[in-house]
């Protein structure tokens, strides 16, 4: 049975217009990325993970600006940490900033996070994980969600018992990426576990992992009974994947459309991060946008060697002159909107 990916669903009181969720990705999910995701069909977008310790201590090395634009909603802001009280206070700050959902990270496998007792480490500490969810859910009025992996080790089934505990503690939805922390992003996501989790809990489950096309999304939803799918790496530099998954259009974008979207993304990122930070942050996006056989490899490499954003823009427009007209239309249709600014750390990665 096919699921209508462009249909509404809810997490608690939050209505979500499509069944495609744009994943929280460290060093990727800046405001420009989230706004673009909403334009291309993501029903829910997520911030990259925010360090609760950074929120508590206002560490200068991690301070950034959390900006929430009016056209991002519904938006989840993801937090990580290991102390229930600190997480609860961070959640209050996130709610005050205007987030629609507070998401808790119990899946990050990166050592920088797990060595602090946060992220995937909590998959093997159910009492503490449940205490964190209960503390956060008690602290805020918005729904609280959790993103987790299957467990620390390959073959682990820890997520099943943990999922039930987290829902009992107050989680309004659970996202499962059924790889182990040890796997990182290798191998395949085992969505048979997702199906088992759906049967065990009475809240919406979001299926994450290896969702790269509409056909794959339909297959995952049909075999698991999940409420929605989460798309991550497939959307990096490729928002058209979101449009295809939702079912709006499967047409391959023209060179002019690709360059125009990249230029809009560049300009919005510069506005958010400042040109100095954005110059370095954006380099990985050039390969993502211009890859997949769209432009020669040498051209992508050339862009990463340019010293200023102005030079990048000039070179892109020289490669696809018609992109200027597409860009002008996009900027008129999707002008920068007022946003809320709060001096908080974006993540331990400093936004990129």
Contact at 8 Å (CB) between 347 and 48?
yes
d(CA 136, CA 104): 9
Cis peptide before 74 (omega within 30 of 0): yes
Is the CA virtual torsion 339, 341, 347, 352 positive or negative?
positive
> Do you know the residue count of the chain?
352
| C-alpha 21 chain-centroid distance | 8
Residue 343 token pair? 């001096």
Q: Which residue shows structure tokens 């449009």?
A: 243
Q: Kindly report the CA angle at 105 between 79 and 48, in degrees rounded to 5?
A: 55
Residue 120: name the closest of 165, 153, 144, 152 by CA.
152
* Catalytically active residues, by annotation: 108
Q: Which of 148, 143, 226, 228 is nearest to 192 (CA)?
A: 226
Token readout for 65 is: 């600006």
Going by C-beta distance under 8 Å and a sequence separation of 6 or more, which residues neighbour residue 117? Answer: 82, 125, 128
The answer to whether 141 and 83 have CB atoms below 8 angstroms apart is no
One-character DSSP codes across 218-254:
HHHHHHH--SEEEE-GGGTT-THHHHHHHTS--PPPP
Q: Please check whether residue 166 is in contact with residue 146, taking contact to mean a CB–CB distance below 8 angstroms.
A: yes
Owner of token pair 């990259």: 48
Q: Calculate the dihedral angle through the C-alpha atoms of 308, 314, 317, 321, rounding to the nearest 10 degrees.
A: 180
């Amino acid at each position: 049975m096919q699921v209508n990916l462009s249909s509404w669903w809810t997490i608690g009181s939050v209505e979500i217009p499509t069944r495609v969720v744009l994943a929280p990705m460290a060093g990727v999910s800046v405001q420009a990325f989230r706004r673009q995701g909403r334009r291309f069909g993501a029903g829910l977008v997520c911030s990259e993970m925010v360090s609760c310790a950074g929120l508590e201590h206002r560490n200068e090395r991690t301070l950034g600006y959390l900006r929430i634009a009016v056209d991002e909603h519904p938006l989840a802001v993801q937090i990580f940490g290991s102390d229930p009280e600190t997480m609860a206070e961070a959640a209050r700050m996130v709610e005050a900033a205007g987030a629609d959902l507070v998401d808790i990270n119990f899946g990050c496998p990166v050592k920088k996070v797990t060595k602090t007792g946060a992220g995937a480490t909590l998959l093997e500490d159910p009492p503490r994980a449940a205490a964190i969810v209960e503390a956060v859910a008690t602290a805020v009025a918005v729904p609280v969600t959790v993103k987790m992996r299957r467990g620390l080790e390959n073959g682990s089934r820890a997520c099943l018992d943990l999922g039930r505990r987290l829902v009992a503690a107050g989680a309004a939805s659970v996202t499962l990426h059924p790889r182990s922390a040890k796997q990182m992003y290798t191998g395949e996501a085992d969505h048979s576990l997702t199906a088992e989790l759906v049967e065990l809990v009475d809240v919406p489950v979001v299926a994450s992992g290896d969702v790269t096309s509409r056909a794959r999304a339909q297959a995952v939803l049909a075999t698991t009974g999940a409420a929605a799918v989460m798309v991550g790496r497939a959307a990096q530099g490729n928002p058209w994947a979101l449009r295809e998954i939702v079912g709006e259009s499967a047409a391959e974008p023209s060179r002019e459309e690709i360059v125009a979207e990249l230029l809009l993304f560049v300009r919005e990122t510069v506005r958010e991060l400042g040109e100095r930070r954005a110059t370095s942050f954006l380099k990985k996006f050039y390969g993502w946008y211009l890859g997949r056989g769209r432009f020669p490899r040498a051209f992508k490499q050339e862009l990463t060697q340019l010293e200023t954003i102005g030079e990048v823009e000039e070179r892109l427009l020289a490669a696809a002159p018609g992109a200027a007209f597409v860009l002008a239309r996009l900027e008129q249709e999707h002008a920068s909107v007022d946003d809320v600014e709060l001096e908080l750390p974006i993540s331990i990665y400093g936004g990129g």
